[in-house]
Every structure is written in C-alpha cells, then in structure tokens.
Amino acid sequence: MSDNFIERPRYTCAQGGAAATVTALPGGIPILHSPSGCSGNFAWTQNGGAGLQVGGYCGTLAIPSSSVQEREVVFGGDSRLREQVANSIKIMDGSIYAVLTSCVTEIIGDDIKSVVADFKKQGVPIIGAETGGFKGNSYRGYDLVLQSLFKDFLERGVIKKKKRVNLWGIIPTYDPFWRGNLEEVRRLLEELGLEVNSFFLNDDTVEGIRKAGSASLNIVISQAYGLDAAKLFEELHDTPYISLPLPVGASATESFLRSVGKAAKVSAKTTEAVISFEKKRYYHYLEPLTDCFNDLDLQRYAIVVGDASYAPALTKSLADDLGWLPELTVCTDPLDDETEETIAAQLLSLESEYDTNLIFETDGGQVIGHLRNKWPVTTGKYQKTFAPAFVVGSSLDRELALEIGAAHLSVSFPVTNRAVLDRGYTGFRGGLRLIEDLLGAIVAGR
Amino acid sequence: MSHIDQKTPPKREDRLGACIAHGGTICEMAAGKGKKSCLQNDGDRSFTQGNICLLLPALAMLNTLPDNVVLQHSAIGCGSCTHSQNANVRFGSNVRQGKPKDAVWLNTAMNETDVITGGEEKLEQAIIEADRRYKPFSISVVSGCVPGIIGDDIDGVVQRIQPEVNAKLLPIHCEGFKTKIWATAYDAVYHGIGRTLLRCGEQSATADGLSPFKGLERLSNTVNLMNVSSMGRIDELELERLLKALGLDVNVFPVFSHPESMVKATQAGLSISTCPTHDDYFLSYLEERFGVPALIQHMPIGIENTGLWLRDVAARFGTKGLSEQIIAEEERELKAALAEFRPLFEGKRVFISAGEFRALATARLLEELGFTVVGIRSFHHDRFAEVEYEKLAKSSSEDYVVDIANVQPFEEANLLRRLKPDLFLGHANGNGTASKLGIPTHVIYHTALAYIGYKGVYELARRLYRQLKNPAYNRKLAENVRLPYRDDWYGASPFTYITKGGASA
C-alpha cells in the first residue's frame, strides 16, 4: 500500500458507481452534471471490467451530461444544468431521473439541490446526489444514490408489511455478477416466504421502489457497501437492517438463511425446510463430481484477491465448501478500520477452522511480495512449493497466477476476460457455478 | 516562441478552429470557405449526452509505452478507462513482443482534503515512490480536472522532483473541462514527449539540412510511420509491407515504442501520418526542430486513398514509377478478390460514424465496395478534412446529411429512424444505438482487426459480408428492447438542440 497512490484501481469514482446504479434502476436516467468526458470514461471502464456488460437502458454514452466547460467553471454551471435537466426530461423517456455531480461542479459550488427541488415541485420523478469523484470510489457512489433514493423518492409513512423485505449491498456492473448474485438471493428469500424488493432486477418496479418503506426488514448482503444508506433508511422509514456477508456457496448460504430467517421472523421450521431442500439438491449435483474431484487431485492452495465482499466470501467458500487451502486473502478496497475489523472477523469464524491470512492491500502488484512473506521460496531437494495453486481474483491477477504457475479465475472487478450475463456465485446455485468455473479452469487443457 | 515552448499545448478549438456542433450536408461541408460553416462559429447544444474527454485517447497512447508508468493525478475515477485500454496493451504487446503485458497505471486518488489543501505534495511523494517501486524508464504524470481547477502546478512539481528520481518525468495536461475537442489529447501527449524525450537544442545540423538528435546519424531512407493507437499491429504490418516495397525502412512511432528509443524519430528522412487529426502538431515540431519533413494528407483507408497516400510517399523519394507498378498490381488483385462480395453490397445504404478523418475515408471505401452513403457523423470538424468532404461530394450523386457531433446518440437515433440504413459503422461503444434499432452494425476501429491499406479493404469487406449475411442478433434485439428516447423526439428535427452558430440541414 502507498499513502500517495493506488495502483491500477479496481473501481472507478463515486460518480461512476452512481451512474451505473441509476442505469440499473427500472427506467433510470442518470443526468451527469460534469465535464463531457466522465460518462465516456465509465463506458470504457465497464467495457474493460464488467464481464462484457456496458450500460443498459440508458447507460454510458447515452447518459445525458451537462458537459460543462471552462465557461461554467468561471461563471457557474447552475443555468446550464437547469437547461440540461429540462431538455433531458423532454427527450429521455424515464421513470427516475437522477442528477449526479462531478468533481468539477462540486468544486465550483453549483447548487444542484435547488435545481432538483424545482423540478420535483413540477412533479418530475427526480433525485440528486453529490457524487464528486474525490468523495470516494464507485462503491461510495452506489451508497450515495441509495441514500438519495431513500430520502427523496420513497414514500414516507407507508404501512409496514410483515413479510416484506428490501435487498441490496451489491453494486450494479462494478460487481460483474450483480444480476445473478441478486437473483439467487432473491429466490432464496422468496423460498422463505418473503416478498422482496431488490431495486435493480427485472422483477422490480418503480412502484415497488416507491413503496420500499413498507418493508419490515432491510437485508444488506455486504459488510462494507450500502450501510450508510441502511442507517439512513432506518432513520427515515423506521425499518431495521441486517448486514450479512455475501453468501457464496452452501456453507455461507446456510448460515445466511438462518440469520435472515431469525431477523425476518420466519419460523425455524420453514427456514430449516428450505435449507434442507436446497442442500439436498446441491449435493445431488456434487455427487457425480466426486470421482474426478479425487482422481484428478483437484484440491488447491489458493490466493483470493477481491473487493470487500468477494475476498472473504470466496475464501469462505473455498475453505468450507471445497476443502481448498486459501493461504492468502487480499482485500483490495481502501476501507476504514472498523470495516476492516468486520471483514477480518468473517474469516476468524470459518466452519472448517482453516487458518487464513487476510491482508488489506490496494495494489495488486504487491500481492506476490505478501505471498513470499508468508510462503518463502525454498531451495534444496525437497521443496515445499506453493503448488498446486489457484488464484481467484480479477483479470489483473493473471500475471501473479502466471508467475507462480497457478490456475486463475476472474470474479472480482475488473473481469475483462469473461462474458457475464446472469451468472452469479451467491446461494447454493452460485456455489455450484463457482465450483464449475474453478474446476473448469483447471481442466481446460485436459 | 512556438507552442512546444509553452507549458501546455493550445486547445484545438483555438489552434485549428475545430468545432463539434453542426448539422449540415456533404455538399455544404465540401463547399469550404465563404460558405456557412461551423469552423467560423461553432454551435452549442442545449441538450448533450456524455462522451469522452482528451484523457482517454491520451491514456490509450501512454499505456502502450513499455517501461513507462502512467501516474494519474486526479480523483480516483479518472483513468479507469484503462481497464479496457489494458486489453489493447496486452494484445498489442503479445503480437509485438510475444507476451501479453499489463500496463502499469497509478492514481493519486485526490480526496476532499487534497482538494482543499492542494495535491502537489502528494504528487511529489507519489512520483518518488513510483520511481523506487517500479524503476521505470519514464513516468507520465497526467493531470485531470481537479488539479486543473485547484491550481496544482504539475510542471513545477516535475521540475522540482526530477533531480531526485531516475525516471524521466513527462508532464501531460489532460484537464477535461478545458477543451471540448478530445483530439487535443494527441497534442498533449506529443507535447510531453517533445519537451522531455526529444528536447531540442541537443541536435547537430548535417550537410543535407536534417538535424537528428545529437550523436545519431541521419537515416534518409527511414520513414516515421505515425500511430497514436488508431491502428493495430496488423494495420502497421500492411503499411510496412507497402513502404518496404518502395524500398523504405519503417520506424513506427510512438505507440509501443520504448521511450528511450523515441529519439530515432529525429533520424528519419520523412514522417508519414495516416491521419491529420492525430499528428499535425508533432510533425510540425519534428520538421521545425529536427528538419524531418512530413506528409500529412490522405488516410490509407480504401483503394483510392491508399493509392494517393502511397503516391505521395513515393514522390518524396523519387520512386513514382515503382509506386504506380505497386498500386496497379495491388488494385488488380484486390478488385478480383472483392468481386464475390460486391453483389451483396451493391446499392445497400450505409451510415458512418467516427472521428472525422476516419469516418470520411471509410465512407469513400464503402462507396468503392458498392455501398451508397446516406449519412455521416464526424466527431468534430477542422480544416484538414475539407478535401475529404470534397472527394465524397464529388463521388455521390445525391446530397446527404453530415452531423458534426461528439457522439450524441440522440441525434443519431433520430437520423437512423428517418434514414433506415442497411448498415451502420460506428466507433467502439458507439454501435449500441443502431443495434437497438435492428440495423446491422460493424465497429469502425479495433486494434485486433484490419482496416488499413489494401488488405484492410479486403478484410473489412469480408467482415461486412459476414455481418450482412446474418444480422439476426441486432434484428431480434430491436424486437425486444427500446432506446431511451420519447416517441415524439423522433418527429422533431435531429438538430433541434443545436443552438447559436451551427446551422440546421
């Protein structure tokens, strides 16, 4: 880690995360209050990092942008924004418009709040968020959009419904597996008998989002992202939240369902029945893998490199579901101390009790050094090499895998070398996908 | 004092009067001076969609340089476009050096405190740490919008820190809000290269008037083939093939060339551009300071244009006869090979969208294949392209629309719904609108694909033939998804939101 730079940042800025988040809402139209280049930067970022997914209904280069220039920097950009919003509403067919500010328009002090408020008064479904890039990375932008949505778009004072829950914690696009991940968790929650609003899936509606305040529980499947939004939601709409690790694979999903069941007041009987049914199916699929899993010696040492959700979640699945040996887990997000502690705690309570090493390191190029510290290169006739090994990380960890002779799978952003549509790694089904993809990478040359 | 002596290069709207907002036609654009043109008075848009800024093409060049670290001084998001550009770097280094290699890019991640207190100190420390950690030959220090607004002086930082580090430091100015013409990127990078790696004052004049870098000999038979990353290796090889046939040695510059070896560019007998949008700034510098003459007209895309380009080169080396032989033979072979594709192409209507020169040259190529051009969108306009508009105005029997727009897919959607072309060629991340309208599409630029020279014509024809043979993906897509525009937008003039200077068609 360096105090002065971040190497190959595995995210973009707050505005980029915010724009992708708005694009993923049903009928969502982001309106960037920024210089002209910001949305193009996001387009190329997604093109290279999001498993071949770029944009959506209104994404990337279709996104309205005030395209401020030196003139606005000098004289202010409020009137340009007003003109841009008015014309965006005329041209763009949307259900939710969201004005998102940039570094430039925040530094020059444009007052977007009054612009947004004026359009809202006219009945336009519009929100605004201050997402200047210096505020943080794409994960921060996701949280800021949710906060704005909860504050300015959701109806206040709606009657709570017992079995209704909201689900979030996965950032659209910057988790390339966002749709599959959300879908599987949503499916499992529905199996528990819950009614789910997940904001960003095909099943979600603007009406459902407006009424999100009726939920009795908010489920955040992250211990790092979307938590400020959850706190604000509780304050404004009086709905408590539960923050749980991203449930990847059978073991994590089992405890996830028990925690959610308890918090959502689902009967233990129902929860256990769902777990039992899902596990039975899961092992029904695994059963015929067993010969090859053993005969081909498919157990691996592993290095996991990922964001604050994936790094611990993948590590847990490797250790607790597959019986692999995740020796080094590298979390590449810059986090505050408290969040780091929460992430670390996840790995201290592994079911397998496997002893992992967790490191917070933003710079992927430094991972090899951390590995050598833990696992020095030995010489002599009998060598305890770090092999056979696997690197589960992002596309940027291919050089590491090559250097140590390990197989590799891209899961955490950037995922440049895979096509991702509805694939996900959460839940029981996601656990099976993960095993397929890991073992598939090992036997690809068979 | 010329531009290169200033800290920052001028923006293109000042230097060339380049413009981005105009709805016109091919005949009007060809009419040139005296007629109404956006060059004298650029328009504005009262509704705009986002596009790129100069930072993106600048990084596309800098990321390819071996042994160079790109140090982005900005908030954390600027430069994240490198995630896709890195794919090009990996592919490009694999085909050139036999091994895919990731670019090294860093970001100072300016935060709220840096915005208030200034980021110069952080940048200083970042340079020192990057130099120690990566031990690169050079570090490109690239500034984004934030330092541009808060007044960080990256040139001052570089000057202060240079004595403390081994790497050569190249300040590159990419403050996105300062120019609407992203082609200013090429000037920004060339400016940094010129001022740092090819600093003049160290050269010695030779008897023939050329002045290569001090200590180097002049290679009068070597030509600089300029590539700012608009050509993949496959296209470089095609042009090298043709130039070698004229008896010339080729030095490709500057993408993928080691910063230490860039001085070779001063030894050449001629610099050849493939696109005036890219190179005019630096070619003037090479000519003025190192006596390397330059050729900068015609883009070798299409049969006629490749011939014109090659003839120009041959004329400079007194090998005109040889070039005529090569061109005749190439054209004979190519035309025979294209014969099987022509019946499918004949009369099909095509819309083209790209950087100005590329769009115009590709339009001419498509005419040569039998297509009829029904519309062009150029990302900007400057005077270099006037001759290309003239070529197209002459070759078309009917006038057609030209939209000068830095992308703006809403104008494109409106135009495409009216024109209903049979084929659309657009830039990367620029084919989605046409695809969602069910129009067969093809990317107009990709470094893994061939476009340039005679082979480029054939390979492009082959790909278009494939696309037109089965456009089921786009057709089905259009049946099931829609564009994000209101229905009444399609009834309005496509240029409704161009205000002030720009005229409507």
CATH number for the domain spanning A113: value is: 3.40.50.1980
Segment A27-42 shows an average pLDDT of 97
In A, minimum Cα distance to B482 occurs at A57
Structure tokens at A187: 């499916």
Q: How far is B330 from chain A (nearest CA, A)?
A: 37
Q: Does A226 touch chain B (CB under 8 A)?
A: no
Residues A200 and A85 in one domain: no
Q: Are B232 and B157 found together in one domain?
A: no
Asked if residue B31 belongs to a domain, the reply is no
Amino acid letter for position A14: A
CA-CA-CA-CA dihedral for A139, A141, A142, A145, to nearest 10: 160
What pLDDT does B39 receive? 62
Chain B, nearest residue to A87 by Cα? B47
Same-domain check for residues B156 and B258: no
Q: What pLDDT, on a 0 to 100 scale, did the predictor assign at position B204?
A: 58
CB B20 within 8 A of CB B42: yes
A60 domain-assigned: yes
CA A306, CA B393: separation in Å to the nearest integer? 55
Q: Quick one: three-class SS letters along B190-253?
A: HHHHHHHCCCCCCCCCCCCCCCCCCCCCCEEEEEEEEECCCCCHHHHHHHHHHHHHCCCEEEEE
Domain end (from B300, B332, B360): B300
- Residues 295-334 of chain B with CB under 8 A from chain A are none
Number of domains in chain B: 3
Q: Would you say residue A379 lies in a domain?
A: yes
Does any CB of chain B come closer than 8 Å to the CB of residue A49? yes
B443 interfacial to chain A (CB closer than 8 Å): no
Whether residue A437 sits in one domain with residue A309: yes
Report pLDDT for B215. 74
Interchain contact, B102 vs A399, CB within 8 Å: yes
CA distance A277 to chain B (A): 36
Across the interface, of A11, A44, A67, the residue whose CB is closest to B84 is A44
Domain boundary among A237, A254, A282: A282
Query: Is A13 within 8 Å of B409 when comparing Cβ atoms?
Result: no
How far away is chain B from the Cα of A415, in angstroms, using its nearest Cα? 9
* Residues of the domain holding A303: 292-443
A369 at B interface, C-beta within 8 A = no
Looking at the structure, tell me whether residues A334 and A257 fall in a common domain.
no
> Based on the domain organization, do B166 and B234 belong to the same domain?
no
**What is the rounded CA–CA span in Å between residue A234 and residue B301?**
61
Instruction: Determine whether the interchain pair A37/B53 forms a contact, defined as Cβ–Cβ distance below 8 Å.
Output: yes
Q: Are residues A247 and A297 in the same domain?
A: no
Q: Which domain holds residue B70?
A: 52-196
Task: State the CATH number of the domain containing residue B461.
Answer: 3.40.50.1980
Mutate to test the interface with B, among A36, A363, A421 (most CBs of B within 10 A): A36
Residue B23 in domain? no
Judged by a CB distance cut-off of 8 A, whether residue B84 touches chain A is yes
Same domain, A433 and A298: yes
Which of A8, A32, A87, A99 is the best mutation test for B, with the most CBs of B within 10 A?
A8
Q: Is A79 on the interface with B (CB under 8 A)?
A: no
Q: Does A16 touch chain B (CB under 8 A)?
A: yes
Is A156 inside a domain boundary? no
Whether B333 is in a domain gets the answer: no
Identify the pLDDT of residue B213: 73
Instruction: State the best of A58, A67, A97 to mutate against chain B, taking most chain B CBs within 10 Å.
Output: A67
- Contact yes or no for B154/B143 (Cβ under 8 A): yes
Q: Are residues A211 and A91 in the same domain?
A: no
Q: How many domains does chain A have?
A: 3
Whether residue B259 is preceded by a cis peptide bond, meaning omega within 30 degrees of 0, is no
pLDDT category at A349 given cuts 50, 70, 90 is confident
Q: Can you say how many angstroms the Cα of residue B331 is from the centroid of all Cα atoms in its chain?
A: 27
Residue B89 CB neighbours (<10 A): 25
CB contact under 8 Å between B83 and A399, yes or no, is no
What percent of chain A has pLDDT above 90?
A: 98
User: Do the domain assignments include residue B5?
Assistant: no
Return all residues near B413 (Cβ < 8 A) that are at least 6 apart. Answer: B433, B437, B483, B485, B489, B490
Q: Do A298 and A205 reside in the same domain of the chain?
A: no
Q: Which of A138, A165, A157, A103 is nearest to A24 (CA)?
A: A138
Residues of chain B with pLDDT under 70: 1, 32-41, 200-211, 501-505
Tell me whether A48 touches chain B (CB under 8 Å).
yes
How far does the CA of residue B497 sit from the closest CA of chain A (Å)? 9
DSSP-assigned beta bridge partners for residue B225: B252, B272
Question: Which residue of B175, B177, B178 to mutate against A (max A Cβ within 10 Å)?
Answer: B177
Contact B502, B22 (CB under 8 A): yes
- From B444's Cα to the closest Cα of chain A, the distance in A is 16
Q: Is the pTM of this model over 0.90?
A: yes
Write the secondary structure of B365-434 as one string of H (helix), E (strand) and C (coil): HHHHCCCEEEEEEECCECHHHHHHHHHHHHHCCCCCEEEECCCCHHHHHHHHHHHCCCEEEECCCCCHHH
One domain, residues A343 and A205: no
Pair B390, B489 in one domain? yes
Closest to A128 (Cα-Cα) out of A143, A115, A110? A115
Look at residue B43 in the predicted model and tell me its pLDDT.
83
B125 touches chain A (CB under 8 A): yes
Tokens of A319: 């250790």
Residue B319 within a domain = no
What's the rounded Cα separation, in Å, for the pair B155 and B173?
9
* Residue A209, domain member (yes or no): yes
**Residues A54 and A192 occupy one common structural domain:** no
pLDDT at B399: 96
What is the reported pLDDT for B505? 33
pLDDT for res B199: 77
Using CA atoms, how far apart are residues A201 and A21, in angstroms rounded to an integer? 12
Which CA distances in Å does A251 have to A237, A258, A290, A294?
33, 11, 18, 21
Residue A45 touches partner B, C-beta closer than 8 Å: yes
Q: Does B147 fall in a domain?
A: yes
B52, B75, B110 ranked by CB distance to A40: nearest: B52
Per the domain annotation, does A38 fall within a domain? yes
Q: Which residues pair with B21 in a beta bridge?
A: none
* Residue B368 belongs to some domain of the structure: yes
In a domain, A421, yes or no: yes
Nearest by Cα to B229 from B85, B335, B351: B85
User: At CA B393, angle to CA B274 and CA B423, rounded to 5?
Assistant: 75
| Chain A neighbors of B430, CB-CB under 8 A | 61
**Is there a contact between A37 and B106 if contact means CB atoms under 8 Å apart?**
no
- Given A282, A317, A352, the domain boundary residue is A282
Looking at the structure, tell me whether residues B480 and B446 fall in a common domain.
Answer: yes
Nearest CB to B111; choose among A88, A93, A134: A134
> Quick one: A349 and A372 in the same domain?
yes
Residues B287 and B421 in one domain: no
**φ/ψ of residue A108, rounded to 5:** -80, -5
Partners of B433 on chain A (C-beta within 8 Å) are: 62
Whether A277 and A297 map to the same domain: the answer is: no
Same domain, A251 and A121: no
| Mutation to test the A interface, candidates B83, B173, B411, B443, most A Cβ within 10 Å | B83
Residue that finishes a domain, picked among A256, A282, A308? A282
Q: How many inter-chain contacts (A to B, CB under 8 Å) are there?
A: 251
Assess whether B112 and B149 both reside in one domain: yes
What mean pLDDT do residues A199-225 have? 98
Q: Whats the size of chain A, residue-wise?
A: 446
The shortest C-alpha distance from A351 to chain B (Å) reads 36
Report the residue of chain A nearest B82, measured CA to CA: A45
Half-sphere exposure of A264 (CA within 13 A, CB side): 31
Residue A194, min C-alpha distance to chain B (Å): 30
**DSSP secondary structure string for all residues of B143-174:** E-HHHHHHT--HHHHHHHHGGG-SSEEEEEE-
Q: Which of A127-131, A435-439, B275-279 has the lowest mean pLDDT?
A: B275-279
Contact B145, B176 (CB under 8 A): yes
For residues B241 and B160, state if they share a domain.
no
All residues of chain B having their beta carbon less than 8 Å from the beta carbon of residue A365 are 104
Interface with A, mutate which of B51, B86, B113 (most A CBs under 10 A): B51
Tokens describing residue B92: 């490009």
Is any Cβ of chain A less than 8 angstroms from the Cβ of B176? yes
